[in-house]
């Protein structure tokens, strides 16, 4: 092993760069790799237009600490003249060299980081550095925005590549509430205005959360989230201690760097709601909230949360309020714009059977979901008709 290279890592490869300087790439495989590069990772984050809070070092390091499998981390780095200009955080999945993104079901957007000043070349270098050499290797990335930086890596990839639709995300323009209400049909808008007046007259006090208050705010959020959903089915992971630990650690880091905001809502001296909003230059996203069931009986929860979130993103100069993934009824009432994320699958060379097989499974699963969504309501209607007949 060469001096200065740790076991489980690949040495940097230097390639002369056009117009002077040099490019280097390396693949780190130690469990502390993200922690070691966190400072320069976040410096690159600030130079990547498409970066979301889910690509911030604080979020990724926290997720890996609480959810990662020891020995499975793969961090790909590209530098120009020693400065980090491209980065990807991946993890091994399965015994055959399969790679995927960090975050699993907790992430709404997956991406890599590319310096805007040399994004095309950095994407090509990052694609060349991906450890996908054997026919049984593959890389699958979930929840990729159509304009994500990794789309440049996908375009630069010379092997097999496949693109599929993934989760549907929804968006609202970051405009004053009264302007947002103009998007709604007449009667719906009228009812919403009445609800907004009721919120204004309710006496609800909204308090922003400082970094040192995040742990307490997260405890309140999770308690209210459970109370809110306990009769309708709570997502099991949201009750897991590791989720609470990750949410506390990652949110503290994001709030401290103004990449997230937490708002706590008080009524008659009681904490009645907590909302977590993630922030980046392109959008502010409603990530998670908890509200006391009694509050729902008195006020329009969505109208309450959306109003404060709109003010937050507008003050930050952010153009869009994202409702992130999901098509819950409370989102649909606001007539949001819709855009599907994508799932990208890469494999080496023309002969990439595992990547092709992975793509086939994704295609079949997508077809099955579409079939259920389109045919199941018809089957239910037919069965109901037969029972009535």
376 has a pLDDT exceeding 90: no
Percent of the chain scored above 90 by pLDDT?
76
Once rounded to an integer, what is the mean pLDDT over residues 308-312?
96
The string of pLDDT tens digits covering residues 57-91 is 999 999 999 999 999 999 999 999 999 999 999 99
Residue ranges of E strands in the chain: 10-16, 22-28, 73-80, 83-93, 98-101, 113-114, 138-144, 160-173, 205-208, 260-267, 270-279, 284-291, 320-325, 337-347
Instruction: Identify any residues that bridge with 100 across adjacent strands, giving them in sequence order.
Output: 91, 140
Q: CB pairs under 8 A, 24+ apart, for 46-51? A: 47/115, 47/116, 47/117, 48/113, 48/114, 48/115, 48/116, 48/149, 49/116, 49/149, 49/281, 49/282, 50/111, 50/145, 50/147, 50/148, 50/149, 50/282, 51/111, 51/113, 51/149, 51/280
- φ and ψ of 86, to 5 deg: -155, 140
Residue ranges of E strands in 41-159: 73-80, 83-93, 98-101, 113-114, 138-144
Confidence of residue 364 (pLDDT cuts 50, 70, 90): low
Question: CA angle 316-321-325, nearest 5°?
Answer: 135
Looking up tokens 């855009």 gives 339
Closest by CA to 266, choosing from 321, 237, 304, is 304
Per-residue pLDDT at 365? 57
Per-residue pLDDT at 198? 96
Q: What are the structure tokens assigned to 174, written together?
A: 């970051």
182 has a pLDDT exceeding 60: yes
Per-residue pLDDT at 229? 82
User: What value does the mean pLDDT of the chain take?
Assistant: 87
5 has a pLDDT exceeding 90: no
The string of pLDDT tens digits covering residues 39-60 is 999 999 999 999 999 999 999 9
284 has a pLDDT exceeding 80: yes
Confidence of residue 7 (pLDDT cuts 50, 70, 90): very low
Confidence of residue 379 (pLDDT cuts 50, 70, 90): very low
Once rounded to an integer, what is the mean pLDDT over residues 21-35?
95
Length of the chain, in residues: 389
Q: What are the structure tokens assigned to 192, written together?
A: 């919403």
User: For residue 310, how many other CB atoms are within 10 A of its CB?
Assistant: 21
Q: What are the structure tokens assigned to 256, written together?
A: 């401290």
The residue with greater pLDDT, 384 or 331, is 331
* Burial of 45 (C-beta count, 10 Å sphere; 0-12/13-18/19+): buried
Per-residue pLDDT at 151? 98
Instruction: State the Cα–Cα distance between residues 72 and 112, nearest whole angstrom.
Output: 18
The string of pLDDT tens digits covering residues 113-143 is 999 999 999 999 999 999 998 888 999 999 9
13 has a pLDDT exceeding 50: no
Confidence of residue 356 (pLDDT cuts 50, 70, 90): low
Per-residue pLDDT at 362? 56
The secondary structure of the chain in percent helix, strand, coil, rounded to multiples of 5, reads 45, 30, 30
* Burial of 234 (C-beta count, 10 Å sphere; 0-12/13-18/19+): middle
* Burial of 176 (C-beta count, 10 Å sphere; 0-12/13-18/19+): exposed
The string of pLDDT tens digits covering residues 200-228 is 999 999 999 999 999 999 999 999 999 98
352 has a pLDDT exceeding 80: no
* Cα dihedral across residues 65, 278, 42, 50: positive or negative: positive
Instruction: State the Cα–Cα distance between residues 305 and 270, nearest whole angstrom.
Output: 17
CB 224 within 8 A of CB 292: yes
Note the pTM of the prediction, 2 decimals: 0.85
Spatial neighbors of 325 by CB under 8 A, at least 6 apart, are 108, 143, 167, 168, 169, 341
């Amino acid at each position: 092993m060469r001096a200065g290279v740790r076991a489980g890592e690949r040495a940097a490869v230097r390639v002369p760069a056009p117009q002077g300087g040099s490019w280097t790439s390396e693949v780190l495989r130690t469990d502390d790799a993200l922690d070691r590069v966190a400072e320069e990772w976040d410096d690159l984050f600030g130079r990547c237009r498409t970066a979301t809070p889910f690509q911030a070092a604080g979020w990724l390091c926290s997720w890996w600490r609480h959810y990662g499998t020891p020995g499975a981390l793969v961090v790909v780095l590209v530098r120009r003249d020693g400065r980090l200009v491209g980065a990807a955080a991946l993890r091994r999945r399965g015994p055959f060299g399969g790679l995927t993104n960090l975050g699993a079901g907790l992430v709404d957007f997956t991406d890599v980081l590319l310096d805007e000043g040399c994004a095309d070349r950095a994407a090509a270098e990052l694609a060349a550095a991906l450890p996908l050499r054997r026919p049984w290797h593959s890389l699958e990335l979930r929840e990729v925005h159509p304009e994500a930086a990794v789309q440049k890596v996908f375009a630069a990839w010379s092997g097999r590549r496949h693109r599929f639709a993934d989760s549907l995300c929804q968006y609202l323009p970051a405009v004053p509430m009264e302007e947002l209400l103009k998007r709604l049909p007449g009667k719906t808008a009228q009812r919403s205005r009445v609800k907004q007046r009721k919120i204004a007259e309710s006496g609800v006090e909204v308090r922003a959360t400082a970094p040192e208050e995040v742990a307490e705010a997260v405890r309140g959020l999770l308690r209210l989230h459970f109370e809110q959903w306990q009769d309708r089915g709570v997502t099991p992971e949201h009750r897991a201690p590791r989720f609470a630990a990750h949410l506390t650690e990652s949110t503290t880091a994001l709030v401290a760097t103004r990449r997230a905001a937490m708002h706590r809502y008080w009524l008659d001296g009681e904490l009645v709601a907590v909302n977590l909003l993630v922030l980046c230059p392109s959008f502010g996203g409603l990530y998670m909230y908890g509200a006391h069931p009694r509050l729902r009986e008195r006020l329009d929860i969505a109208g309450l949360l959306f109003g404060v979130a709109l003010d937050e993103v507008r003050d930050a100069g952010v153009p869009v309020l994202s409702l992130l993934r999901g098509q819950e009824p409370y989102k649909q009432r606001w007539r949001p714009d819709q855009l599907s994320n994508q799932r990208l699958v890469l494999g080496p060379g023309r002969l990439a059977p595992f990547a092709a097989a992975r793509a086939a499974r994704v295609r079949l699963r997508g077809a099955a979901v579409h079939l259920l969504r389109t045919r199941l309501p018809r089957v239910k209607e037919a069965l109901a008709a037969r029972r009535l007949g």
